[in-house]
Each structure stands twice: as C-alpha cells, then as structure tokens.
C-alpha cells in the first residue's frame, strides 16, 4: 500500500511569503504529525492531528499552523516566512495516536531566500 505522500518535495520562497505543505497519510491512518528537521536542531515536533482536531502543539510561533480534513489528509501553513524556516518538513502518520509506529513521508524541503 502507498506510503505517506508529501507535496511538494521542494519549495523555494522569499522572506515574508507564506507557504502551504500537504500530507496524505497511509490509507487507514487517522493520526498525522508534523516535524521540522534542521542540521542544528534535529527533528522537532510541530503539531499532531487526529479526527480533524489538533491534539498537541510544539514550541513554534503562531506563524506555524495546520489542519486536518475529514479524509485524514493534513496541511500545514507557515506565514511571514523567515530565513530560519528553511528546513525539511516531515509528516508522519499512524493508525491512531499513542503506542503506534509513526511512518514518515519523504518530506518537503523548504528553502527561504
């Protein structure tokens, strides 16, 4: 069965712009989490969604937001982009929240000029 699909794979933006990233979970998975990966900070949790509800949020500014749709697909949005937002954004899905392996997509590499 298909894995977690993230689009786009690569994105180049300039400071001040906004961006929307998309994630389609593995079929049947209802929990979606987002992570940011940078060389300096490693993998950091952004937020998680289950049943269209945000259940948890990491320590990121309000410029970072997300949502989940009824088909479990999720989007994250970053507004007023800053140079420091350049990173690999990873989406992970699991059947339900909790003690379940989370399976990651290939990520969206966002570069801010």
Partner 1 sequence: GQNIDQPTEMTATEGAIVQINCTYQTSGFNGLFWYQQHAGEAPTFLSYNVLDGLEEKGRFSSFLSRSKGYSYLLLKELQMKDSASYLCAVIKAAGNKLTFGGGTRVLVKP
Q: Which residues bind partner 1 (CB under 8 A)?
A: 4, 31, 33, 35, 42-45, 48, 50, 55-56, 58, 90, 92, 94, 97-107
Residue number, 3 or 79, with CB nearest to partner 1 = 3
- Please report how many Cα atoms fall inside a 13 Å half-sphere around the Cα of residue 62, on the Cβ side: 0
Which is it for strands 10-13 and 108-112: parallel, antiparallel or unpaired? Answer: parallel
Distance in Å, CB of 66 to partner 1, minimum: 13
CB of 16 to partner 1, least distance (A): 28
Count of other CB atoms within 10 angstroms of residue 10: 9
């Amino acid at each position: 069965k298909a894995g977690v699909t993230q689009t786009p794979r690569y994105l180049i933006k300039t400071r001040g712009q906004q961006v929307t990233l998309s994630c389609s979970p593995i079929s049947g998975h209802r929990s979606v989490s987002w992570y940011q990966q940078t060389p300096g900070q490693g993998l950091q949790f952004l937020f998680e969604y289950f049943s269209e509800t945000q259940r948890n949020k990491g320590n990121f500014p309000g410029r970072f937001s997300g949502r989940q749709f009824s088909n479990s697909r999720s989007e994250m949005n970053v507004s007023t982009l800053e140079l420091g937002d350049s990173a690999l954004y990873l989406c992970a899905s699991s059947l339900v929240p909790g003690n379940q392996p989370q399976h990651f997509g290939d990520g969206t590499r966002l570069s801010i000029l």
